[in-house]
């Protein structure tokens, strides 16, 4: 499908385009994968390295098929999309941010003070000129396909040509997307900004949160869940490739459209009804309130007999929690509490 300016429409119309504690083997594999990404692509000193480069720099890594090189930790970064901004803030890098853009909902309370001190380049995506006005040396996007839209003039090549290195969230280019993907994302950004220890702390916190939730859910029966990002003539839902699918699984559910080989997908109302979900997880963001989405579900005659609608069994999650970012641990816990209240 064609990619619009942002993967989500704030008007609620058509859009886009860890943590469980891993076993020692899985953790080692994740660490090894990151090491390969950071070393196999030329990480380490190069012929262009200057004598005063910090230890470990220049750093080169493969980001979704694009080679990214930073000669030193970036000092003037901009973030495009909320989850990129929150990763930076969780890593304590607010002093390196000279601009942000595109919130889907409110930033986490613990980040409000730091966020309020950072210039907002645009309510949605900034133009190429607005990015240049901030004089950044680095741009980090949550939804790279739309944030780095060449058709809008801010493609990765265009930014690189003026000396701005770019990095995009790896959810769009990783398969499968799991809570290990979250760790990889956070640690990669930590490496770029030379804050690996802080990145490890953030990952450990996320993994501890998921492990705590998993312990609570021991022995529960999974609940069949339909994700509703938006509903009108169709249902815009989560497929099996994104972190939303993983969040549901770790929260004691099963995404009824986990067989779709996509992060997001439109399905017909009839298809949604045929899957007969026990619960509906509504993504909360933008101009369409949750209550309006609930009303649309309750009033749709095709959905009237599915268990989730008959029992009015709804769960809610902010959209900013349903992406690869620092909220995934809490997202698993929040969804689990709503699907299995008796376990908490």
Q: Write out pLDDT tens, residues 79-105.
A: 999 999 999 999 999 999 999 999 999
The residue-averaged pLDDT of 230-242 equals 96
Confirm whether pTM is higher than 0.75: yes
Report pLDDT for 146. Answer: 96
Q: Write out pLDDT tens, residues 158-200.
A: 999 999 999 999 998 999 999 999 999 999 999 999 999 999 9
User: 206 pLDDT exceeds 70?
Assistant: yes
User: 19 pLDDT exceeds 70?
Assistant: no
Q: Write out pLDDT tens, residues 54-70.
A: 899 999 999 999 999 99
Q: Write out pLDDT tens, residues 103-129.
A: 999 999 999 999 999 999 999 999 999
Q: Which of 17-21, 114-118, 190-194, 246-250 has the lowest mean pLDDT?
A: 17-21
Tell me the DSSP string of 265-288.
EEEEHHHHHHT--SEEEEEE-TTS
Reported as a pLDDT band with limits 50, 70 and 90, residue 51 is low
- Work out the burial of residue 90: count CB atoms within 10 Å of its CB; fewer than 13 is exposed, 13-18 middle, 19 or more buried: buried
Beta-bridge partners for 279: 225
Report pLDDT for 18. Answer: 32
Report pLDDT for 124. Answer: 96
Reported as a pLDDT band with limits 50, 70 and 90, residue 236 is very high
- Among the listed residues 20, 38, 19, 22, the one whose alpha carbon sits nearest the alpha carbon of residue 30: 22
Count of helices and strands (H, E) across the chain: 13, 14
Give the span between the Cα atoms of 237 and 275, in whole angstroms: 13
Report pLDDT for 53. Answer: 74
Query: Residue 110 carries which DSSP code?
Result: G
Give the span between the Cα atoms of 86 and 271, in whole angstroms: 35
The answer to whether the beta carbons of residues 282 and 316 sit under 8 Å apart is yes
Provide, rounded to the nearest whole percent, the portion of the chain with pLDDT above 90.
Answer: 83
Report pLDDT for 291. Answer: 97
CATH homologous superfamily, domain 217-343: Nitrogenase molybdenum iron protein domain (3.40.50.1980)
Report pLDDT for 5. Answer: 34
Q: Which two tokens stand for residue 52?
A: 């005063």
Residue pointed to by tokens 């509703």: 228
Q: Write out pLDDT tens, residues 134-162.
A: 999 999 999 999 999 999 999 999 999 99
How far is residue 212 CA from its own chain's centroid?
A: 21
Longest dimension (CA), the chain: 70
* More reliable by pLDDT, 77 or 12: 77
Residue pointed to by tokens 């280019």: 173
User: 227 pLDDT exceeds 60?
Assistant: yes
Domains 24-210 and 217-343 alike in fold: yes
Q: How many residues does the chain have?
A: 344
Give the span between the Cα atoms of 316 and 319, in whole angstroms: 9
The answer to whether the beta carbons of residues 213 and 152 sit under 8 Å apart is no
Tell me the DSSP string of 158-170.
HHHHTT-EEEE-G
Q: Which two tokens stand for residue 69?
A: 């090189």
* More reliable by pLDDT, 236 or 13: 236
User: 235 pLDDT exceeds 60?
Assistant: yes
* Extents of the domains making up the chain: 24-210, 217-343
- Work out the burial of residue 148: count CB atoms within 10 Å of its CB; fewer than 13 is exposed, 13-18 middle, 19 or more buried: buried
Provide, rounded to the nearest whole percent, the portion of the chain with pLDDT above 70.
Answer: 85
How far is the first Cα of the chain from the last one, in angstroms, to the nearest whole number? 41
Buried-state track 290-325, b at ≥16 Cβ within 10 A, e below 16: eeebbebbeebeebeebebbeeebbbebbbbbbbbb
The answer to whether the beta carbons of residues 177 and 17 sit under 8 Å apart is no
Reported as a pLDDT band with limits 50, 70 and 90, residue 22 is very low
What is the chain's mean pLDDT, rounded? 88
Beta-bridge partners for 67: 62
Give the span between the Cα atoms of 82 and 84, in whole angstroms: 5
CATH homologous superfamily, domain 24-210: Nitrogenase molybdenum iron protein domain (3.40.50.1980)
Give me the helices (H) in the chain, please: 24-39, 82-90, 112-116, 128-133, 144-147, 156-161, 179-192, 196-216, 243-250, 269-274, 290-298, 307-310, 328-339
User: 32 pLDDT exceeds 60?
Assistant: no
């Amino acid at each position: 499908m064609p990619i619009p300016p942002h993967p989500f429409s704030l008007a609620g119309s058509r859009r886009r385009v860890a943590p469980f504690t891993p076993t020692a083997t899985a953790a080692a594999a994740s660490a090894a994968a990151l090491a390969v990404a950071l070393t196999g692509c030329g990480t380490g000193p190069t012929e262009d390295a200057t004598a005063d480069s910090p230890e470990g720099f220049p750093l080169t890594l493969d980001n979704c098929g694009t080679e990214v090189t930073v000669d030193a930790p970036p000092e003037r970064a901009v973030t495009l999309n909320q989850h990129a901004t929150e990763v930076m803030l969780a890593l304590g890098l607010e002093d390196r941010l000279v601009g942000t853009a595109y919130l889907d909902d409110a930033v986490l309370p613990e980040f409000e003070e730091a966020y309020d001190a950072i210039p907002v380049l645009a309510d949605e995506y900034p133009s190429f000129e607005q990015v240049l006005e901030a004089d950044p040396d680095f741009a980090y996007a949550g939804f790279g396909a739309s944030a780095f839209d060449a058709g809008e003039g801010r493609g990765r090549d265009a930014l690189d040509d003026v000396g701005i290195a770019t990095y995009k969230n790896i959810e769009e280019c990783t398969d499968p997307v799991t809570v290990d993907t979250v760790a990889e994302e956070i640690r990669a950004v930590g490496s770029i900004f030379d804050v690996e220890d802080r990145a490890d702390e953030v990952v450990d916190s996320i993994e501890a949160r998921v492990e705590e939730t998993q312990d609570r859910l021991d022995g529960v029966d999974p609940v069949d869940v339909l994700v509703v990002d938006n509903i009108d003539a169709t249902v815009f839902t989560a497929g099996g490739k994104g972190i939303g699918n993983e969040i549901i699984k770790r929260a004691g559910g099963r995404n009824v459209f986990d067989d779709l080989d996509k992060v997001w997908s439109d399905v017909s109302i009839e298809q949604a009804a045929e899957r007969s979900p026990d619960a509906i997880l509504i993504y909360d963001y933008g101009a369409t309130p949750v209550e309006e989405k609930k009303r649309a579900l309750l009033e749709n005659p095709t959905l009237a007999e599915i268990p989730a609608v008959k029992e009015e069994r709804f769960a809610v999650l902010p959209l900013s929690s349903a992406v690869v970012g620092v909220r995934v641990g809490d997202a698993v816990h929040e969804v689990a509490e709503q699907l299995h209240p008796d376990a908490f």
